[in-house]
Amino acid sequence: MDKRPIGIMDSGLGGLSVIRIMNQQLPHEKLIFVGDQGHFPYGTRTQQNVCHLALNIGQFFKRQNVKMMIVACNTATAAALPTLQAKMPFPVIGMIAPGAKGALQQAHHHSIGVIGTASTIENHAYEKKLHQLDTSVQVVEKAAQPLVSIVEHGQTGTVLAKQTVDEQLAVFDQQPVETLILGCTHFPFLAAEIQQKLGNQVTLVDPAKEAVNNAQEWLIKHDALNDTTLAPQSRLYSTGDVAVLKAGAEQWLNSQNYTCAHLEL
């Protein structure tokens, strides 16, 4: 039994797509979220810079005495996971290995598409992991950085969102895939638009589901679940404009059990 919080980080609202699943699957865990909106977006930064930012947040979580850290950001996972795992005194869970595993578990996974930020795709983070697990799969990668801004600016469900998804995913008209990895935590909030563009025959994989399964397995194995009977209040921090985080949380979270505040790191 361990009542300490779990630290979760992202560059912005994408982290909420992971918190949403945490709240469903592990509702008794207290979460401390850092949305690094003061440095948004991560996807156009160098990996070295993203690694530095992620480490800084890891240090904050250390001061908060968390029992685990979830990097709810594919870009930061690709740039910083091994460094965080080496330097932090708690387990650190990323998005990419769980996302690749989740895709390979689908019934039809001969051709797998990956959409992510400019950085995640340029570094072939998913392609490398998928081929490490199964050399026979075909991988079609597409950077879709403009979709990140659509979500961060609260423009999902608009005509602009639909147009941008259609443009960004046009590559899959020529190179169809059976399964698509949503390789950026902002993208599950555009799942409806993405599914409409690709058709129902394509399976969308949200890496957060497998990542949360991994977190749950670790907590059970190490007898570290929070045994409280009441769902504890989580803290959501933004290093940028807290009003943006608050609006995102109101729109996307399935719980009101949190407080929002600005964080200077």
61 near ligand DGL, judged by CB under 6 A = no
Q: Which is nearer to ligand DGL, 11 or 234 (CB)?
A: 11
Contact segment (CB under 6 A) with ligand DGL among 11-19, 168-176, 226-234, 256-264 equals: 11-19
Q: Which pair of tokens denotes residue 5?
A: 């919080």
The HSE-up count of residue 164 (CA atoms within 13 Å, CB side) is 18
Beta carbons within 10 angstroms of residue 64's beta carbon: 13
**Residue 181, beta-bridge partner list:** 114, 205
What gap in Å lies between CA 203 and CA 178, rounded to an integer? 6
**Contact yes or no for 85/206 (Cβ under 8 A):** no
How many residues of this chain interact with ligand DGL, rule: CB under 6 A? 17
Which of 73, 79, 114, 181 does the annotation list as catalytic?
A: 73
Instruction: Based on the shown chain and the rule CB under 6 A, indicate whether residue 172 belongs to the binding site for ligand DGL.
Output: no
Told to judge if 51 belongs to the known catalytic residues of this protein, a careful annotator would answer no
Smaller CB distance to ligand DGL: residue 38 or 176?
38
Note whether 37 binds ligand DGL by CB under 6 A. Answer: no
Segment 104-163, which members bind ligand DGL (CB under 6 A)? 117, 120, 148
Q: Given the complex with ligand DGL, which of 47 and 74 has the nearer CB atom?
A: 74
To the query of whether residue 73 is one of the catalytic residues in this protein, the response is yes
CA–CA separation, 71 and 78 (whole Å): 10
Task: Name the residue whose CB lies closest to ligand DGL.
Answer: 43
Q: At a CB cut-off of 8 Å and minimum separation 6, what does 64 contact?
A: 5, 7, 32
Round to whole Å and give the CA distance between 67 and 61.
9
How far, in Å, CA of 45 to CA of 135, rounded? 30
When the beta carbons of 5 and 183 are compared against ligand DGL, the nearer one is 183
| Site for ligand DGL, residues 204 to 263, rule: CB under 6 A | none
Q: Which active-site residues does the annotation give?
A: 73, 184
- Which stretches of the chain bind ligand DGL, using CB under 6 A? 10-12, 14, 40-43, 73-75, 117, 120, 148, 184-186
